[in-house]
Amino acid sequence: MITRGNIVKSLAGHDKDKYYIVLEISDKRVLLVNGKTRKRENPKQKNISHISALNTQLYDINSMTDKKIRRLLQEIALK
């Protein structure tokens, strides 16, 4: 189940295999941020069936800056 603060991987679209953090969930769509191309001010809308949740949950998403989000996702992408 995908919840706010989950780190997810895109499964479809031009951003396939990229990592994001779920900022908000509404119906069958989610708002995603990555701190670089999709910042908190301009999140990406994506169909919930086109993403896969990793086993990582962030609880303090509100205090994270774009820079912190970017660094966290870079570390995950290198694993």
Burial 6-44 (b: 16+ CB within 10 A, else e): bbbbbeeeebeebbbbbbeeeeeebbbbbbeebebeebb
73: DSSP letter:
H
- pLDDT value of residue 58: 84
pLDDT in tens, 49-68: 999 999 888 878 888 999 99
Residue 1 lies in a domain: no
61: DSSP letter:
G
Number of domains in the chain: 1
Q: Percent of the chain beyond pLDDT 90?
A: 80
Helix runs in the chain, H state only? 66-78
Q: Is the whole-model pTM more than 0.85?
A: yes
| CA triple 70-71-74, angle to 5 deg | 85
Residue 26 lies in a domain: yes
Provide the pLDDT confidence category of residue 42 given band limits of 50, 70 and 90.
Answer: very high
Q: Range of 40's domain?
A: 6-78
Domain at 54, CATH number: 2.30.30.30
